[in-house]
Each structure stands twice: as C-alpha cells, then as structure tokens.
Amino acid sequence: MFPKAVIDSGPLFSALVINYDMRGVRLGRSPRFTHVLTEPLQTSGAQKLLLDLLYSIGRRLTTSHAIAELTGIESRLRLYGDDLLDFWRTSIDLLRQWDIDETLIRLLDLASDKAFEECLPRIGITDTGLIELALKNRCVLITEDERTLASQAGAMGVDCRLVRNLVAPAS
C-alpha cells in the first residue's frame, strides 16, 4: 500500500500484540490480549488488515524513542517472567522479519529546527521525532493517536494516517 512509512509506537504495539496472540492461537490457545487493543482492532478481520497493511509497506521506519515507548505499553499485557520473555522474542522476530529501520532522532537536532520550536514542547520528543522522520523521508506516518500526533503532523504537512481509518473495512 505504501512504499515507505513511519510507524508510531501505538500501531507497532498493536501489531506485536496481534502477532503474539496469533502465534498463541496457532499453538492451540484462545486469543488473550484483544482487550488491550484500540476499539477498531477488536475484530480478527481488522487485526488481519492491520498486519497485512504493515507487511505490505516497502520500508518501515520508526524512531528509537517510539521503540522505547513499547516497554512502557507492554505493562498492559500483565505478562511476567518467561511469558514476557516469550512476548519480546516473538516481537523481535517480527521486527527483524520486517527489517524495521529504527532511527535515532536526537533532541539537539530537533531543537535546532525552527519549525519544531512550537511543536516540541506541545507534543514531546517522541512525536516530534516521528514527524521529523516522516518529513525527512517524505512518507506517510501511521498512528492511533488522533488527538495529538495526527493533528500536529497534519499541521506540519505530513500525510498522517489513522489506524482506525486504515482498518475500517473490517470493522
């Protein structure tokens, strides 16, 4: 669908959870983590659409800050010990398979850009970095965050796509 896209931590986390749950289903377990996914991803059809979409992207980009946010979001799963290790192993396998390009967007670089003087304090380092990466690569930004990231990205001239709109046909 997209030759290149920047992916926010929300859709990344959703994809990792869906992938982990699907692996469990293949091993004979019932889906366990649908409750941590956002509203449009509650159905298996929407989940498949999201994974298919992310698989179809030619080059997947994100920032180191977005990857770091995943460790904070993982607490929603309430996994511990070997189960948590299994989640991360499965997740890293998927990120390797996608050959995700994790880029460090330095705060000092963001701070030196006049366009971000207003953006940075309003939405923070992670979201500002994602916008910068999308602008630099002239590509779409995929997020679940309509309230802050999508609106600011649009104001900065980034083609920002919301997951809920991308999976709408399956809902």
Confidence band for 127, pLDDT divided at 50, 70 and 90: very high
Domains in the chain: boundaries: 4-170
pLDDT tens, residue by residue, 46-92? 999 999 999 999 999 999 999 999 988 888 999 999 999 999 999 99
Confidence band for 171, pLDDT divided at 50, 70 and 90: very low
Residue 8 has pLDDT above 90, yes or no: yes
d(CA 94, CA 55): 10
**Of 74 and 144, the one with more pLDDT:** 144
d(CA 89, CA 86): 5
Contact between 23 and 90 (Cβ < 8 Å):
yes
Q: What is the mean pLDDT of residues 137-153?
A: 95
pLDDT tens, residue by residue, 92-124? 999 999 999 999 998 888 877 766 777 888 898
Percent of the chain residues topping a pLDDT of 70 = 97
The CATH fold assigned to 4-170 is Rossmann fold (3.40.50)
d(CA 20, CA 118): 38
Look at residue 167 and give its three-state secondary structure. coil
Kindly write down the DSSP assignment for every residue of 63-129, as one continuous string: EHHHHHHHHHHGGGG---HHHHHHHHHHHHHHHHHHT-EEE---HHHHHT-GGGTTHHHHHHHHHHH
Spatial CA neighbour of 116 closest among 61, 62, 69, 155: 155
Q: What is the predicted pLDDT for the residue at 72?
A: 85
Crossing angle for the helix pair 64-73 and 119-137, nearest 10 degrees?
A: 120
d(CA 170, CA 118): 37
Tell me the residue type at 90: T
